[in-house]
Amino acid sequence: MIYTLTLNPAADLELQIDEFAFDSVSRANSSRLDCGGKGFNVSRMLNNLGVESIALGFIGGFTGQRLASELGKMNIQCQFTQIAGETRTNVTVVEAGNKRHIKVNEAGPNISPEELSNLVEQVKQNLNAGDWWVLGGSLPKGVSASFYAELITLIENAGAHAVLDTSGEALREGILAQPSLVKPNLEEAQELLGLSSEELTQTQGWTQALLAMGPKNLVVSLGKKGAMIADEHQCAEFTSPTIVEANPIGAGDSMVAGLVWRLSLGESLSQALPYGLACGAASASRQGTDLGSLEQVEQLRKQIN
Ligand SMILES: Nc1ncnc2c1ncn2[C@@H]1O[C@H](COP(=O)(O)OP(=O)(O)OP(=O)(O)O)[C@@H](O)[C@H]1O
Ligand SMILES: [Mg+2]
């Protein structure tokens, strides 16, 4: 089974108006609500690929209920941990024709120590050797930067595989716990190494330096260029298939879905990577928060040697 964990989910509300007008009332021409959060995106992409997953995370209030019901409609199994606070809403107001937009993110709820231990219990109850766990996204208030590291230790000690996709301190502490796979993008990789982009291009063996920090396998995504993979034996760069880019936000989450899908079937990282690239490219070719389809992924996969 593949589990996805979203600790800091959000309802992403997008309202479209004709034109910004301050100090007056604007009427929305259309509105859409999406389930925001890296783990949810991975579950949504897996669902498009026809692969089952179970979504875990913190859910609170009416917004939380709404997210749970939207995921339920997509046939994604959910095992959420209820919290007293309200799940955050992130609002984007866009002008027709995508001219300009304003995005305001709510700070989100505070997680109590009891709620945190309820979530850890929920994870423990689902731990089985051979399963895959995707830990993705930022941490909510009340959760320490070492929390992913604690979960990774639990998961890996149970003989399951943890995949980490986050940034900043949570990523730095998380990789020290030796997850099975970590997937930073280039910016996140630079931050981990404390190097500028120029310094990175001049540094030989930087992927091995990242591996030395703890992860068993590494995929660094390079946006439209593709990705690099490294383990203790090898380091290789793969080129992504060519698409017409529509919206690359969430391409990384789709890539993680593709990788975990193939790894969970027993494939090696270099066998799985073409599917990761194809999934990332498929989703980058879609408008808005739409993610790639299985048919599109299979087509794009054929373009990769
Ligand atoms: N324009 C594009 N053309 C082709 N492939 C793309 C494009 N954008 C993204 N991809 C694919 O998706 C993968 C992940 O993209 P990227 O490196 O942008 O991830 P990311 O920065 O983690 O994204 P996010 O965190 O927003 O999901 C890339 O390695 C590549 O295979
Ligand atoms: Mg990313």
What are the residues facing 136 on neighbouring strands? 6, 165
Q: Could you tell me the CA-to-CA distances from 29 to 101, 104, 272, 290 in Å, in that order?
A: 14, 19, 42, 20
Rounded Cα distance, 160 and 152, in Å: 9
User: In the structure encoding, which two tokens stand for residue 150, read together?
Assistant: 């604690």
Q: Flag whether pLDDT at 231 surpasses 90.
A: no
Strands 30-36 and 10-17: antiparallel
Shortest CA distance to 79 belongs to which of 111, 141, 121?
A: 121
Å from CA of 261 to ligand 1 middle:
17
Query: Is residue 121 within 8 Å of residue 151, measured between CB atoms?
Result: no
Q: Does 181 reside within a domain?
A: no
The per-residue pLDDT for 204 is: 85
Residue 44 sits in a domain of what CATH number?
3.40.1190.20
Q: Does 186 reside within a domain?
A: no
Q: pLDDT tens across 172-227, in order?
A: 999 999 999 999 999 999 999 999 989 988 888 899 999 999 999 999 999 999 99
Q: Does 97 reside within a domain?
A: yes
Name the residue with the closest Cα to ligand 1, atom 14: 252
Å from CA of 129 to ligand 1 middle:
30
Å from CA of 253 to ligand 2 middle:
6
Confidence of residue 234 (pLDDT cuts 50, 70, 90): confident
Q: Flag whether pLDDT at 165 surpasses 90.
A: yes
Q: pLDDT tens across 272-304, in order?
A: 999 999 999 999 999 888 999 999 999 999 998
Q: Which residues does a 6 A CB cutoff place in the pocket of ligand 1? A: 185, 221-224, 226-227, 240, 243, 245, 248-253, 255, 277, 280-281, 284
Domain that holds residue 108: 1-143
Tally of domains in the chain: 1
Q: Does 4 reside within a domain?
A: yes
Q: Does 192 reside within a domain?
A: no
Name the residue with the closest Cα to ligand 1, atom 25: 252
